[in-house]
Amino acid sequence: MSVLISPSVLAADFARLGEEVRAVDEAGADMIHLDIMDGHFVPNLTVGPDVVKALRPYSDKPFDVHLMITPNPAIVESFAEAGADLISVHPEPDPHIHRTLQAIRAMGKKAGAAINPGTPVEILEPLYELCDVILVMSVNPGFGGQSFMPASVERIRHIRRRIDELGLDTILEVDGGVNPETAPKIIGAGAHALVAGTAIFRSKENSYAKAVERLRLGTAV
């Protein structure tokens, strides 16, 4: 599977968010990553389904929506209706994670499970076959611009091994401190989707297309 690049608009210019989404689409992004935070599960507050809906006309690429919230059926459904194509949720705050993943799939969307750096990977054991995506957080979620946690490499490797053992084609995605320097380690451990915010939107390349290209070149192993 080829490497997928999913720019995180958390690092974009919020005063011109639609234009930013269109720009990274045209720069070669495979997906558009939208971080949804509720100020409870993580110590930050971002956007809701109305913003996702407003951004939908700016790109035909899949919207990769990461819900860093305490989910409930109505909220998850609202993001599906707003235009999300892939919805990742956290098992940590959700006592009914199986039901949530099943509901996402029933809406015709791809379902993902996201885990924090401090969460044992074993939490995923009952979930693999319900997931189209596993999202490994390689920083503590809530804020952009953090440094990649080296211990994440072994976690990625473990999850990759379990996906292969189960014979699944689950997308293994990594978010946090992803840049051309850390990407080779991440891809080498078995991930094939990278979420990058600062490395694209605030790159010294001064060009989103060059930043995306450099990130792809950084994934060469």
Which amino acids are annotated catalytic?
A: 35, 175
198 is annotated as contributing to ligand binding: yes
40 is annotated as contributing to ligand binding: no
How far apart CA 64 and CA 27 sit, in angstroms, is 17
Nearest to 221 by CA among 191, 177, 201: 191
How far apart CA 99 and CA 131 sit, in angstroms, is 12
176 is annotated as contributing to ligand binding: yes
119 is annotated as contributing to ligand binding: no
Contact 101, 131 (CB under 8 A): yes
66 is annotated as contributing to ligand binding: yes
Nearest to 203 by CA among 180, 185, 183, 182: 180
Pure H helices in the chain: 17-26, 49-55, 73-82, 97-106, 152-165, 183-188, 198-201, 208-218
How far apart CA 168 and CA 21 sit, in angstroms, is 31
How far apart CA 180 and CA 216 sit, in angstroms, is 8
How far apart CA 12 and CA 7 sit, in angstroms, is 9
143 is annotated as contributing to ligand binding: yes
158 is annotated as contributing to ligand binding: no
175 is annotated as contributing to ligand binding: yes
145 is annotated as contributing to ligand binding: yes
Residues of each annotated binding site: 8, 33, 35, 66, 142-145, 175-177, 197-198
Residues of each annotated binding site for substrate: 8, 66, 142-145, 175-177, 197-198
Residues of each annotated binding site for a divalent metal cation: 33, 35, 66, 175
